[in-house]
Chains A and B, each alone.
Chain A
C-alpha cells in the first residue's frame, strides 16, 4: 500500500469542476518529508482549489488522495488535521472577537479542559517568538485589536503549533501578502528550519523572488493542470513567467528625472509637522515604506477631503481602487456590470433614471480595455477570478472620470498577466492627464512611478524621483525616523 515511501501526501488524477468551470483537470502532486514545494500560476490556474482538496475542504470529483501511504476515501478537514496536514489560507481563519490565546485554544481540541487557556497562551507565545522574533503580540490581545499583518502572523504561527498530535505538512497560501518585508523574511527563514525538522511545506506565492529563493521544488500550474515542475535551481524568473503563460514585459522605467510640473491636483500632509505630499496632473505617485505606516490613511484622507473639498487641497473628485477587495471593494450580490458602474451612475442617466443601454455600453467598452475574461457582464461578480475582479475595481475607478485615482495596494495576490495589463493602462491614463496615488508593498511596482514618497510611522520621511528608485534605497528609507 505504501507508494512512494517517504511521501507525506500524494494526489493523482485529481479533477474538480465547479459548475461550468473546470478548476482541476487531472493533477498529480506529491510532497515528501522535509520538502519545500513552491506552487505558482495565474489566478484561476487552480492552485487554491488544489490546496483545498489537499486539506480536505473540498471533495475532488475524481482522482486519488494518498496520505502517509494510506489511500483515503471520505476525506475531510478533520481527517486532514488528524493526519498532520495544516493550512493557512488567504482569507484569515481566525476569530476576531476572541483573543490570540483563545484562537489557539479552539484550534486544539486537546486544550479543552481547565488550564487550557494558559497552555495555549504559552504555546502561541513560544511559536511567535520562534517564527517572528520581535513580533510585539501578546496572547491576551483580542484579535480585532491587531493590525492585519499581525493577525496573519498569529495565524501562521498557530499552524505550526502542536499539542502532541503529528504535524507533517503545512500549506501556506499567499502567507506574505499582508506581511511587511521583515516578517516575510522571517517566515521564509522559518520555512527552511521547519523543513529541516522533517515538516513538508507547500508555498503558494505570486512573489516570484520568494519562490525562487526559498523552495526545493517548483510546480507551475496553468488552466487546472500542471504545466511544468522541477527542482528550483532549474528555474529563473523569466522561465517561470513563461511557464505560467504570459510574457513579462521588460520593466520600462518612467522617463528619467522628469521635471515636475503641471497643475497641482493633490496636496496632503499626513502629519502636521512632517513633509507634505504634492501631486501634479498626469503624475504617477508612489507611496512606499513598511506596510501599515500611514499610506492607507493618507489615501483615505485624500478621498474624504475630495468629497468635502477641504483646504488641504483644491476640491477635485477622487476615485478609489481597493486592495482588500472582499472588504473594501466588491459588492458580492451584484453583477460585474453593476459593480463597475456604481461610481459613474450620474453620467449614465437619461432623464431621471439610469439608462440600461448606456450602462451596457460602458461595461462593454471597459471589458475590452481591461481585458476582463467573462462570457457575460451580467454574471455575478464572484464568478470572476480574483485578478479579474480586481480589474473590475480598476474599471470602476477609471470609468468614473475622476481626475485623481487612489490605489490601496491593489495588486496584492494578483497574477502577472493582470498586472501587466493594468500597468500599461495606468501609464496611458497618466499620459492623458490623470493623477495616480499608488500605495504598493512591492518595490518593483515603484519603478513605474514618477515620484515616490516613503512613509514611516505615519509621516513622510523621504521622497525621491522614480528613476532613482532601488530596492535597497527604499528599504533603507523605510526605516528612517521622521524628523
Chain B
C-alpha cells in the first residue's frame, strides 16, 4: 500500500487530513467530532474554489500564477453584498455581478500579461494593488448583510454535510472532466507542457490563456460572494489568507508548478488537510506563532516527502 501511496503523492494529503482529524478528536475525547468534520468541510469549500481557479492558471505553464485572487475575493464580497442589498430577489444579480467582476479582473490581468509583456507574477501583483484600492474606496464602512436566503443557503447542511461541499464535489468532478475531455482542457494542458509545440499543433495559445485567467477570476468572484454570505458580511481582508492557501493546496495536491499537469482530487485532500491542521492546532491551544511555524514546516515536509517532478531527461 505504501507503494500505491508513493505512486500518487497527493494521496498523502488525505492521509494527513485524516491524521489531523484523528488527533483533534482524540484531544477532545470524541466530543464534537461531527461538528468539526462539518465545519472543516464548510471551510474547505472556499479554499477549493480558489484553488481550482489557481490550478487552471498554474497549469498554463511556468510563471503563470494569479496573485490577485485575494483582492479579487475581497472586492467580489463587497460587490455581491451591495448588489444583493439584503434582498432575496437580488441574489441572482449579486452573484452575476461578483462573477462578472471577477471575469473583468481576469481579462485585465491577461491584457497586462499579453499586451505589455509583463510576467504574470508582476502583472497580477500590480493589479492586486489596484483592486485593493478600489475595494477600500468602494467598500469602506460597508455594513450590508447578505439576504437571508443566501446566507442560509451557504450554511445549509444535509445530514451534517454542508450543501456547498456537495456542490463543490460535483463542481470539481466537472472541472476534471473539463480538463481531460474537452478541447479547452486539452489545450490548457498542451500549452502548459510546451507552448511552442502547442502553437505548432494548432492550439490558439493566446485565446486559451485569456480564457483561463478569466475562469480563475470568475471563480474568485464566486468564492468572494459565498464567503460574504457564509460570514454574514463582506470585508476587505477576507481574501488574504486564501491567496497563499490557493497556491499551497494546488501544489500540495499534486499539480505541477511547471504546468501541464493538473490534479483535482488532490486539491480536496490538500484543502481538508490544511483546514483540519489549523483546527487541530487551535484545539491544542497553539498560539499564532506556533500555528504558523507548524503549518509551514508541515507544508515543506509534505512537499519534500512527495518529491518533485523528475527532469524530462
B181, A353: Cβ atoms under 8 Å? yes
Q: How far is the CA of A319 from the CA of B202 in the complex (A)?
A: 8
Q: How far is the CA of A319 from the CA of B312 in the complex (A)?
A: 26
B194, A354: Cβ atoms under 8 Å? no
B180 vs chain A, min Cβ distance (A) = 8
**A91-B313, A346-B183 known; A332-B201 Cβ under 8 A:** no
Q: How far is the CA of A6 from the CA of B157 in the complex (A)?
A: 83
B247 vs chain A, min Cβ distance (A) = 20
A322 contacts the other chain (Cβ, under 8 Å)?
Answer: yes
B183, A354: Cβ atoms under 8 Å? yes
**A91-B313, A342-B201 known; A331-B190 Cβ under 8 A:** yes
A330, B194: Cβ atoms under 8 Å? yes
Q: How far is the CA of A346 from the CA of B183 in the complex (A)?
A: 7
The B191-221 residues at the A interface (CB cut-off 8 A) are 193-194, 196-198, 200-204
A91 proximity list for chain B (CB < 8 A): 313
A329, B186: Cβ atoms under 8 Å? no
* Closest B residue by C-beta to A317: B202
**A307-B202, A319-B202, A342-B190 known; A330-B197 Cβ under 8 A:** yes
A354, B181: Cβ atoms under 8 Å? yes
From B186, B198, B202, B313, residue with most partner A Cβ within 10 Å: B202
B200, A328: Cβ atoms under 8 Å? yes
A330 proximity list for chain B (CB < 8 A): 194, 197
A345 contacts the other chain (Cβ, under 8 Å)?
Answer: yes
A317 proximity list for chain B (CB < 8 A): 202
Q: How far is the CA of A333 from the CA of B180 in the complex (A)?
A: 13
* Closest A residue by C-beta to B261: A333
Q: How far is the CA of A338 from the CA of B203 in the complex (A)?
A: 14
Main secondary structure of the interface of A (DSSP, over half): mixed
A334, B193: Cβ atoms under 8 Å? yes
B183, A331: Cβ atoms under 8 Å? no
A320 contacts the other chain (Cβ, under 8 Å)?
Answer: yes
B204 vs chain A, min Cβ distance (A) = 8
B256 proximity list for chain A (CB < 8 A): 333
B183, A329: Cβ atoms under 8 Å? no
* Closest A residue by C-beta to B256: A333
**A332-B312, A342-B190, A354-B186 known; A327-B201 Cβ under 8 A:** no
Number of interface residues of A (CB under 8 A): 28
0/1 string, A314-351, CB within 8 A of B gives 1 = 00010110100001111111100010001101100100
A21 contacts the other chain (Cβ, under 8 Å)?
Answer: no
A291 contacts the other chain (Cβ, under 8 Å)?
Answer: no
B182 contacts the other chain (Cβ, under 8 Å)?
Answer: yes
B200, A345: Cβ atoms under 8 Å? no
Which listed residue (B177, B200, B261) contacts A353, Cβ 8 A? B177
Q: How far is the CA of A317 from the CA of B189 in the complex (A)?
A: 23
B150 vs chain A, min Cβ distance (A) = 31
A206 contacts the other chain (Cβ, under 8 Å)?
Answer: no
* Closest B residue by C-beta to A355: B181
**A327-B196, A332-B312, A334-B193 known; A343-B183 Cβ under 8 A:** no
A329, B193: Cβ atoms under 8 Å? no
Q: How far is the CA of A307 from the CA of B197 in the complex (A)?
A: 15
B1 vs chain A, min Cβ distance (A) = 22
**A333-B261, A334-B189, A354-B186 known; A320-B200 Cβ under 8 A:** yes
B312, A382: Cβ atoms under 8 Å? yes
B201 proximity list for chain A (CB < 8 A): 320, 342-343, 396
**A320-B201, A333-B261 known; A328-B181 Cβ under 8 A:** no
A173 vs chain B, min Cβ distance (A) = 14
Q: How far is the CA of A403 from the CA of B135 in the complex (A)?
A: 53
B200, A322: Cβ atoms under 8 Å? yes
B261 proximity list for chain A (CB < 8 A): 333
A352 contacts the other chain (Cβ, under 8 Å)?
Answer: yes
B189, A345: Cβ atoms under 8 Å? no
Q: How far is the CA of A140 from the CA of B197 in the complex (A)?
A: 31
0/1 string, A288-328, CB within 8 A of B gives 1 = 00000000000000010001000000000101101000011
Q: How far is the CA of A332 from the CA of B261 in the complex (A)?
A: 10
**A330-B197, A333-B261 known; A342-B186 Cβ under 8 A:** yes
B146 proximity list for chain A (CB < 8 A): none
B200 proximity list for chain A (CB < 8 A): 303, 320, 322, 328-329
A345, B183: Cβ atoms under 8 Å? yes
* Closest B residue by C-beta to A320: B200
B182 proximity list for chain A (CB < 8 A): 352-354
B62 vs chain A, min Cβ distance (A) = 13
A147 vs chain B, min Cβ distance (A) = 17
0/1 string, B251-283, CB within 8 A of A gives 1 = 000001000110000000000000000000000
Q: How far is the CA of A368 from the CA of B260 in the complex (A)?
A: 28
Q: How far is the CA of A91 from the CA of B183 in the complex (A)?
A: 32
Q: How far is the CA of A334 from the CA of B180 in the complex (A)?
A: 11
B177, A333: Cβ atoms under 8 Å? no
Can you identify 24 A-B contacts, CB atoms within 8 angstroms?
A: A307-B202, A319-B202, A320-B202, A322-B197, A327-B197, A328-B196, A328-B200, A330-B194, A332-B312, A333-B189, A333-B193, A333-B260, A334-B189, A334-B190, A334-B193, A338-B186, A342-B190, A343-B201, A346-B183, A352-B182, A353-B177, A354-B181, A396-B201, A400-B202
Give me the 5 closest cross-chain CB pairs, A-B, nearest first: A353-B181, A331-B193, A320-B200, A332-B312, A345-B183
